[in-house]
């Protein structure tokens, strides 16, 4: 039986702060017709320019994936896109009144829950797939990065991360069927090492961070003075390091939540192909730059 394209049944909004800009914005999902695809619209700008969620419009992968077109930019798109793919939604128009998508809790779950509230509806058009017909590999040996896709009947993803730190050793995560996304992947939040956090703070980034939307790994000895400073930055009375080497700002949903979040990002970034995938992905140390480079390679190789 042929699978049909999907959109949402009604419009739904979600509000929050951008992780890096700190600006409060409203994101609204609207239903769209068949073959519309996923598109963003900057309703705060003159003439409300539209930016397609397409790999050809990626302009940056620093601290997240950014789209740009005609002077309009959309920052940190990956969690929204992964939620749409996780629910099998092909067509939607996304209005945004700021440049950065709200970080929410650092996962895809808030977007997925909003979309489920809106409901999905089938359209009178067949779903179009990117069918992988050959093995495609992208490697960056100097960074120990490798990402590969092979022919398969289902969309599956295996991820391995290893940043050669004692606090976060090798982790693996797998998605065997897109139906597992909501329960196994969507709740998994972004993570950061302490030295990365300090860099971001020094460069006036993560203005929307509040220690509730990221797992913070402590990969070196820290003094009480440093912990007190972090508590002040994020408006917490105190913070401390837990036995597993993370700050006590939150509890892990899964022991391998970081690897699961990287898998979430892979799904979000590969959504920029514009069609759901039939293929098996294996990724070692993936990141937004690698994911988007690989997406371009798939498009150019298969001419999709």
Residue 279, domain member (yes or no): no
Closest CA to 285 of 141, 149, 175, 182: 141
What tokens were used for 21?
Answer: 């800009």
Residue 32, domain member (yes or no): yes
Axis-axis angle for helices 288-302, 257-270 (nearest 10): 40
Residue 261, domain member (yes or no): no
Question: Structurally, how many domains does the chain consist of?
Answer: 1
Burial of 257 (0-12, 13-18, 19+ CB in 10 A): buried
Residue 106, domain member (yes or no): yes
Poorest-confidence range of 242-246, 279-283, 294-298? 242-246
Owner of token pair 């798939």: 298
pLDDT at 213: 77
pLDDT digits (tens, 9 = 90+) for 27-67: 999 999 999 999 999 999 999 999 999 999 999 998 899 99
Instruction: Give the CATH number, domain containing residue 21.
Output: 3.30.230.20
pLDDT at 210: 60
Residue 116, domain member (yes or no): yes
pLDDT band, residue 289 (cuts 50/70/90): very high
Residue 37, domain member (yes or no): yes
Annotated active-site residue 20? The verdict is no
pLDDT digits (tens, 9 = 90+) for 136-194: 999 999 999 999 999 999 999 999 999 888 788 899 999 999 999 999 999 999 988 87
Residue 15, domain member (yes or no): yes
Q: Please give the residue range of the domain that contains residue 46.
A: 4-128
pLDDT digits (tens, 9 = 90+) for 90-129: 999 999 999 999 999 999 999 999 999 999 999 999 999 9
Residue 194, domain member (yes or no): no
pLDDT digits (tens, 9 = 90+) for 195-241: 777 776 666 666 655 656 788 888 778 888 888 887 777 777 888 88
Residue 275 has pLDDT above 60, yes or no: yes
């Amino acid at each position: 039986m042929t699978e049909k394209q999907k959109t949402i049944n009604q419009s739904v909004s979600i509000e929050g702060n951008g992780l890096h800009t700190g600006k409060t914005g409203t994101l609204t999902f609207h239903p769209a017709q068949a073959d519309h695809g996923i598109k963003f619209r900057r309703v705060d700008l003159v003439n409300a320019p539209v930016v397609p969620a397409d790999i050809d419009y990626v302009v940056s992968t620093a601290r997240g994936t950014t789209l740009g077109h005609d002077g309009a930019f959309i920052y940190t798109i990956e969690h929204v896109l992964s939620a749409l793919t996780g629910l099998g939604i092909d067509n939607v128009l996304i209005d945004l009144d700021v440049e950065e998508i709200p970080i929410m809790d650092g996962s895809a779950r808030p977007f997925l829950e909003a979309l489920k509230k809106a409901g999905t509806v089938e359209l009178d058009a067949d779903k179009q797939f990117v069918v992988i017909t050959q093995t495609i590999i992208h490697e960056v040996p100097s960074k120990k990065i490798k990402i590969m896709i092979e022919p398969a009947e289902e969309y599956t993803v295996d991820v391995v991360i290893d940043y050669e730190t004692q606090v976060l050793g090798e982790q693996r995560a797998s998605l065997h069927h897109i139906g597992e996304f909501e329960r196994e992947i969507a709740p998994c939040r972004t993570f950061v090492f302490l030295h990365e956090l300090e860099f971001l703070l020094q460069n006036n980034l993560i203005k929307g961070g509040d220690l509730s939307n990221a797992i913070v790994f402590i990969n070196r000895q820290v003094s009480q003075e440093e912990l007190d400073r972090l508590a002040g930055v994020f408006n917490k009375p105190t913070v401390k390091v837990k036995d597993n080497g993370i700050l006590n700002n939150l509890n892990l949903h899964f022991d391998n939540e970081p690897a699961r979040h990287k898998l979430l990002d892979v799904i979000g970034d590969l959504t920029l192909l514009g069609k759901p995938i039939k293929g098996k992905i294996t990724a070692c140390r993936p990141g937004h730059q690698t994911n988007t480079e690989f997406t371009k390679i798939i498009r150019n190789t298969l001419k999709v």
